[in-house]
Structures are given as C-alpha cells and as structure tokens.
Amino acid sequence: MLTKRSRGMANEHGVADHWEHFPHVADIGVRGVGRSKEAAFEQAAYALIAAIAEIERIVPKTKVHIRCSAANDEALLVEWLNAVVYEIATRGMLFCRFEVRIDGDSLKADAQGEPIDQQRHEVAAEAKGATYTELSVRQLDNGRWLAQCVVDV
Amino acid sequence: MDLTMLQRFSDTEWHIPPSGAMRVPGIIYADANLIAEMDDKVQKQVRNVAALPGIVKASFAMPDAHWGYGFPIGGVAAFDPDAGGVVSAGGVGFDISCGVRTMTTGLNAADIEPVKESLARSLFAKVPVGIGSTGELRLTDRQMDAMLVGGARWALQQGYGEARDLSRIEEGGRMAGADPACVSARAHKRQRKEMGTLGSGNHYLEIQRIAEIYDQATAAAFGLEQDAVVVSIHCGSRGLGHQIGTEFLAEMVAQAPALGITLPDRELACAPLDSELGRRYLGAMRAGINCALANRQIIGHLAREVFAEFFPAAHLELLFDVSHNTCKEETHRINGESKALFVHRKGATRAFGPDAPSLPEHLRPWGQPVLIGGSMGTASYVLVGTRDSEAHAFASACHGAGRQMSRHQARKRWGGRAVRDELAGRGIIVRSPSPRGVAEEAPGAYKDVSAVVEATEKAGLARRVVRLRPVVCIKG
C-alpha cells in the first residue's frame, strides 16, 4: 500500500471510507474501500483523481451527472472510472466530490468539480483509461466493499 | 524474472517452450541482466499471448519488455487470418499509434546554446502540453472524419508540413483501411479539442544533440553528424485513441464467450480477424493510427514555426516517423512462403531492413530508422533495421527504456523542481506545467536505455546509429 487517505464519512464501526494507490510499474493502481459498494466506487474515483492531480486543491463549483451500466460489478467499475475519465477529457474538468447510486447493473452519479487549472491543481499524468488488470469488486470479511483496478496513464 | 524458467538460446535470446495452452513458443530478446530485472509477469504474459488463436511463429518480447495489459509492453505477435487469427485491442493498447518522429535541423549544439532558454520558452508556449490543454484546431464531424481517413496527408492539406514529409512516415503518412464510421461519437468528441496536443506522462518534445556516432555511413545517410541538433516528438492518438481502446477492450471482453474465445486474462480480449467485431476494430484502430500521424504532423509543424523564428535559414527535415502501438497487415516469410499476417507491436518499433519496398528511395539502401526514446535526463537513440531483423520478430525492435519504478515511488524519491534544477545543472532545460509530472518522469525512474539498445543490437533486431543527448525537454 503506497498511499492511503480518507475521504468521506466514518461508518458505523468508526472506520472511514478511504482510497489508496497500489503499485504498478508503468501505471497506477486505484483502490476504493467503503461501507457500501457505492462508497467503494466513490473512493476509487477519488483515487483516480488523486493519480491525476492534487485532489485537495479542486473546488466543487459545477455538478455533472454521469450514467453508465455493465453486466457485472467489475465491468461496472471499469465503465464508471472510464466515464469519469471521459468527463475529465471532454469537459476539461477535475472532480473532487462523487455521489454514486447503483441499481442492479446501472450506475448514476453526481460529480462536482471545476475547470482544470494546471498550476493550481498540480496536474501530473492524464488517465487514458481504466483497465481489467488487478480488477476486483468484492465485499471483504469485515463487511466493507473494495473496488480496484489499474489505470493506464 | 527467474532465468531458470527460460531456455538460453544465445546471450540475448531466451526461449519458453510451448506448454499447456501455448500454441507457439515464447521468445524473449534481452541479456541476462535485463531479464533478471523484468517482472515475472512478462513471462506469464508472453505465455498467454502464445495461447491466442492463429498466432504464428512465436510470442515475442523485446529487451525493454515490462508488465502490460494482456500483452507485455514490448510484446510482438503476428496472427494468420487464414488460421483463425485474432486482433486484440489490448495488443495495441490505449494509445493507438503512439510513436516518435525525429527531424534534423541543420544546426549544431553551439548554434542553439545561446538561445536555448528562449527556444524552450517558445516551444513550451507554442505546443499545447499537459492534461486539460487544447489545440487551436476545432474540427467539425466531417473534418474529423477526413482526418481519420487521411492522417498526415490530411494535415498536410491543412497546411501543416511539407509534401516530402509523407514518404518518411510509416504508411506514407496515411493508414489505409481506416473507417471513421467504426469510431464512436464519444471518441470523436474526446478528440475535438485535442488535435496538435502533446499529452502528458512520458510524452515529450525534445531538442537533442548527437552525442555519439556508432555507424558513420548510416549516420551520414540519415543526415546525422556529431553535435548536430535534432528535434524529436513522442506522442500518440490522444483522446480519440484512448476512447477507441477503452470501448473495444470492453466489447471484446463481453463478446469473447460468444466468439468462442477462452481468455486466460481478460485484458487479452480479442476478436477473430474474420468477424464483424474484428473488422470494426481494425477500421477504428486504423483511424486511430491516422489521428496519431496527423497529430505528430501538426506538432512537427509547430516546432518548425518556432525554429523559423530563431533560425530563419534552418530547415527541419523529417528523418522518420515511427509508431510503436499498432496492429498492421504485413507480408512476412513463414516456412519459405510469403504470408499476409496481422502483426501486433505493443511498445515495439517496426524495424525494416535495407531494400524494404515501403521505405523511401533515399533510405532503402540503409534500412528504416528506428527511433528509441529514453528518459529526459539520459539518452535517446536512432537505430536502423538490418537484413537480420526480419528473421527474428517480424522486423521489430525495442521502443524505449521502460520504467523500473512506479510513478508513486518516483514522486516519493524526487521533487519535480529538484529534478528540473539538477538537469539544468547538466545543461538540460525542462519545461513542464507540472513539477509533479517531472518528478514522476525523473530519469532514475527508468531503466538504462543504453543497456536496452545494446541488447537490441546484440540480438540482431536493429543496429545502433547514433546516441542523442537531450538539450531541451518539453513535457506534459
């Protein structure tokens, strides 16, 4: 585990939802852990943003609605992260707040952020897309959910 | 990687005999040191690729191979369309037709030394770099489709570059068989503001000087002299390529069971060449190649404009433009017979030897320039394809240094400003919107590119012509 940060509310056991990066030589692994599948997906998106820029410097000025769907949880995570990558690329925005709702095989989300400011956001590499490498969405023994994959940068 | 898992064929060629589902052997070209440094996953991925339907001869890994997605980065594999062969989105990668172009300038290091600071500033101002940057061009849907069919030829028609550039670009600057109808509306939209942008990560525009010549005759034929200055550009198909890769990877994963393909790794997702999905991917991927060729043509033109401000008499002549993430239909000799194959090069450079028909006349006696990008503090190389290249991995060579450290490790070890200052102390000017990006691309995060090209030469994949040292580096 290389980076581990909390973002969001503590759950009923007092353990905060969190995201982290895990190592991949050429690219970067993003992992979200949360009290629910939705929370884990939100945290994975924070990890994605943190791979691109300094997430604490992004201001939630504008809200964007995102929708996607896939046949199973793991494919849905890839679709979700790719949808975020697409919104970053086409809107020229970075996001710092995500609210995810999952209903069966479809996902709806609100993402809040602002236009990219290369200097202020201390941008690094752009994300090209989420991959199926190290892809996993599962409920852990402690009841929390984990959502992770490697992102090509 | 554990060497005992491999059979040593020579100092720079190591074999993995077929076992399990492998249809052909695996062959890794590298010396013992490079192999020892390689992740074990490279071997696993070489084996997995060897199990794909219709693969011919072997599943190859180049000396700079590292853990990729499905295919290793540095992987080469050819598939026979008449034997159920496949095309793989993962075998091409997200950055379709990412590649390098190098232009000679007719200047030498002493000419640019007094102005290199302002030259760097002007290039940085002219060429859009980094996440969120946009180009000046805005294409309508119709113009975008013309670009996706025309590649660098389209860019030339829009006023970017010179007619003589085209023969020095693979495929003459235009990949045939591109079908914009196979490219989604989302991919179109993602590219709308990104024409003529460099991107970020390991992409760069560098001014380099020739630090060492290994092959005088070939160097002279390429217009490369000691201390001469060249400009090199490393970038790809931008958002359009990324989106094509993303969408087809997902579709190939989803359709694999219906297509009767068992995948040892989802990232190996592929489709038969003779299938609707396979043909559609080829149409889109070729459009992605044209997008990359147009993009490098535009950025090359921007570099020419900047140089013209400083050196009105200088002429930036295109040496060559190579792509290292592609799948191309090529004719190769298999068991004494010419055969049309679909050759995937994922982080590998085509390296045609002398007399290759696709080479322009002035290069044909010498072979194809093979442009190898290193890290910003070390070196890049110009190699040349040899007559032996074809006998190995379908005339393929390495593509770069390859990372040896993750981005996060690099950021923990180095600060961007410290890296920039240290390189400035060595006479290398780095301009980037992102200190963090510079830290992630620190020279120490990469393998020794010199060891990679030495192994490439020893293995007979390509031969060294010159070594290039960076003078100015523009990074995203």
- Across the range B356-377, mean pLDDT stands at 93
Residue B304 placed within a domain: yes
Residue B435 located in a structural domain: no
Probe site for chain A from B407, B412, B475 (most A CB atoms < 10 A): B407
Residue A3 has pLDDT above 70, yes or no: no
Could you tell me which chain B residue has the CA closest to the CA of A92? B132
**What is the least distance, in Å, from the CA of A11 to any CA of chain B?**
28
What is the CB-side half-sphere exposure of residue B313 using CA atoms within 13 A?
3
Confidence of residue A125 (pLDDT cuts 50, 70, 90): confident
Pick from B130, B193, B266: which is nearest to A118 by CB? B130
Binned at pLDDT 50, 70 and 90, residue A2 comes out as very low
> In angstroms, what separates the C-alpha of A124 from chain B's closest C-alpha?
4
CATH code (residue A41):
3.55.10.10
| DSSP conformation class of A134 | T
**Cα(B200)–Cα(B133) distance, integer angstroms:** 10
Neighbours of B157 (CB within 10 A): 12
Domain range for B232 is 3-404+446-475
Distance CA A13, CA B430 (A): 49
Predicted pLDDT of residue B1: 87
**What does the pLDDT look like over B452-472, one tens digit per residue?**
999 999 999 999 999 999 999
* pLDDT exceeds cutoff 60 at A12: no
Average of per-residue pLDDT across B92-97: 94
Alpha carbon of residue A134 to chain centroid: 15
Q: Confirm whether B424 is domain-assigned.
A: no
Enumerate the residues of chain A whose CB falls inside 8 A of the CB of residue B255: none
Q: Is residue B300 part of a domain?
A: yes
The answer to whether the beta carbons of residues A11 and A140 sit under 8 Å apart is: no
In sequence order, what are the residues at sequence separation of 6 or more whose Cβ sits closer than 8 angstroms to the Cβ of residue B313? none
Q: What is the ipTM of this complex?
A: 0.91
Read off the CATH number of the domain in which B262 is found.
3.90.1860.10
Distance of residue B20 Cα from the nearest chain A Cα, in angstroms: 22
Q: What is the mean pLDDT of chain B?
A: 95
**Amino acid A4: pLDDT:** 58
Nearest to B186 among A2, A23, A86 (CB): A86
Flag whether residue A146 sits within 8 Å of chain B, measured between CB atoms: no
The count of structural domains within chain A is 1
Give residue A1's pLDDT band: very low, low, confident or very high (50, 70, 90). very low
Higher per-residue confidence, B93 vs A5: B93
Predicted confidence (pLDDT) at residue B363 exceeds the cutoff of 70: yes
Residue A13 has pLDDT above 60, yes or no: no
Is residue B169 assigned to a domain? Answer: yes
**At B337, is the secondary structure helix, strand, or coil?**
strand
pLDDT of residue A26: 74
Which residues in chain B have Cβ-Cβ distances shorter than 8 Å to A19? none
B199: phi then psi, degrees, rounded to nearest 5: 90, -160
The residue range of the domain holding A80 is 3-152
Q: Is B15 a catalytic residue?
A: no
Q: Which of A86, A119, A129 sits opposite B433 (nearest CB)?
A: A119
Cβ within 8 Å, pair A123-B131: yes
pLDDT of B413 reads 92
Residues A34-62 have pLDDT tens digits of 999 999 999 999 999 999 999 999 999 99
Average pLDDT for A119-131? 91
- B134 compared with B282, residue with greater pLDDT: B282
Asked whether residue B5 carries a pLDDT value surpassing 90, the answer given is no
Average of pLDDT values for A73-87? 97
Put simply, whether A123 touches B (Cβ < 8 Å) is yes
Pick A23's closest partner by Cβ from B131, B190, B406.
B406
* Nearest chain A residue to B201, by CA: A125
Domain count, chain B: 1
DSSP for B291-331, written as a single string: HHHHHHHHHHHHHHHHHHHH-TT---EEEEEEESEEEEEEE
Do the domain assignments include residue B64? Answer: yes
Q: How far is A128 from chain B (nearest CA, A)?
A: 5
A69 at interface of B, judged by CB pairs closer than 8 A: no
Catalytic residue among B188, B203, B392, B399: B399
Mean pLDDT score, B193-216: 95
Average pLDDT of A114-123? 94
pTM over 0.90: yes
Q: What is the bridge-based pairing of β-strands B337-346 and B396-397? A: unpaired
Is B436 within 8 Å of A54 when comparing Cβ atoms?
yes
